[in-house]
Chains A and B, each alone.
Chain A
Amino acid sequence: MDAAVLAAVDVRKHFGALAVLDGVNLTLNQGEAVGIVGPNGAGKTTLLSVLSGSLTPEAGSVVYRGRDVTSKGAADRCKLGIARTHQVPRPFVGMTVFENVLVGATAGGKRRGADAYGLCLQVLEECGLTDLANRRAEGLGLLQRKRLELARALAVEPAVLLLDEIGGGLTDAESAALVETVAALRGRGIAVMWIEHIVHVLMQVVDRLVCMDAGRIIADGPPAAVVSQAAVIDAYLGSRA
């Protein structure tokens, strides 16, 4: 039996008159990787923000390990074990790469001193950032910033990792390495939710694929089945008519 770690229950969110999330139900199980796809404006990032606590839904709830966390902010959810990355990287500027990761490692006071440093070094190595550890975050290129997003989130030692478009613009080798990293995280029991436009990359690693369109989930199931559903194809490429 799958154990749900994180769930969105009938979540609704409007931006003005626009229903960005129009009654979304989604469950993420322990050690599961779920890919989220959908055309621009489908509500993918908003869903991720509601799950991570940076946006509050108008209706519905977010449940983490059986507990309603809807009213908890992002910082509290981070301490509970929910970490995210941002589509447009948001490093702490004025701090080095190492310091950025250290923020994650010390969040919630779980680790301190040498213990936290050790974790940082390990995460930096895992994300290919060791050589850049002493560079200031604002000096990084886009791909390096994306790696830093991932590193800072991993340093939280999350139970749930929410990824927002970290795979764009990678070379084939880098994509393959990223797939391997995500597979390894899942293997460690971390639940991963990954928004990505590069569907075939997602399909190499996710257990389930969820397709959103206009604030709703229009498909949720095994990846190969989801991408062949007419509704999914229509959402991307327009209807056949």
Chain B
Amino acid sequence: MTLLEVDGLDCRYGLLQAVRGVSLAIGQGETVALIGANGAGKTTLMRAIAGAHRPHGGRVVFDGADITRAPAHRRVSLGIALVPEGRRLFPGLTVEENLRVAAPPRRRGRWNVQSVLEVFPLLQPRRHMVAANLSGGEQQAVAIGRALMSNPRVLLLDEVSLGLAPVVVDAVYRSLADVIKEGATVLLVEQDLTRALKVAGRVVCMLEGRVVLEGEASSLDRDRVVNAYFGLRRPA
């Protein structure tokens, strides 16, 4: 069953068109990795789904309802949570406070401070530390935890591993695997193709605002992805 659908989406910043007629459907329980070079439109697409960027054209449909005009906070209560690029924590709040901020009264479910700390054990000893003093990996874990606190039906993860040491990325992905195993629906931006292919069922590659390749992770070989990523045609 399709949970999230993007239909002919156009997003602009002034004259600059960042997303050009993108259509995408994500099924309940599916994990989709979005890849593409800088400026391909990945972050803008995520922001448009989350309600942080108003599209110029097209539709965003969630669970059968057109939410194109719904503000971001309304989408959170519907069950869409974004982990933004750069984490964007409240630096002066503690780990626990950052998590609690995101617990809306209306959405009950499996996630609370305790269960988030269980999935992200690296946060356990940091619980009362202010976010500004955390390492990049710990901040990323808090940002994902904060998104989970709203008990989302779809989790949008932008640049999961950007700026993190490989060993920290491993830890974040181990926790993420637990989240996915529980049936979460996830759309994530990941630059590391090997990792994206491992964690996602489906991979979508964007180039200059358009989807240029889409397929089951198991059916995509690296050469095809490379050609799509760089916008190359296979040599004749």
Contacts and interface: CB of A to CB of B under 8 A. Distances in A.
Interface stretch (A62-70, A105-113, A196-204): A196-204
Contact of B226 (A165, A203, A237): A237
A233 B18 contact: no
Interface residues of A, number: 25
Given A200-B231, A227-B232, 16 more contacts: A40-B38, A141-B14, A142-B15, A143-B15, A144-B15, A197-B37, A198-B37, A199-B231, A224-B235, A233-B226, A236-B37, A237-B35, A237-B222, A237-B225, A238-B192, A239-B194
A198 B191 contact: no
Chain B's interface size range is 20 to 34
B61 interface: no
A114 interface: no
B92 interface: no
A167 B35 CA distance: 20
Interface string B178-195: 000000000000011111
A241 interface: yes
Contacts of B225: 237
B232 A237 contact: no
Contact of B39 (A144, A171, A197, A233): A197
A169 interface: yes
B16 A169 contact: yes
A236 B194 CA distance: 11
Given A141-B16, A143-B15, A143-B16, A200 B230 contact: yes
Interface string A136-164: 00000111100000000000000000000
Nearest to B209: A169
Contacts of A240: 194, 222
A68 B232 CA distance: 39
Of residues B18, B37, B193, which shows the largest number of chain A Cβ atoms within 10 Å of its Cβ? B37
A168 interface: yes
Interface in B1-46: 13-18, 35, 37-39
Contact of B208 (A142, A198, A237): A198
A169 B13 CA distance: 9
Nearest to A41: B163
Minimum-distance CB pairs A-B, first 5: A200-B231, A238-B192, A169-B16, A237-B193, A141-B14
A147 B55 CA distance: 25
Nearest to B208: A198
A198 B231 contact: yes
Given A39-B191, A142-B13, A169 B38 contact: no
A141 B15 contact: yes
Contacts of B18: 169
B222 A238 contact: no
A171 B208 CA distance: 9
A199 B232 contact: yes
B173 interface: no
Given A143-B14, A169-B17, A237 B235 contact: no
B229 interface: yes
Nearest to B20: A171
A64 B192 CA distance: 38
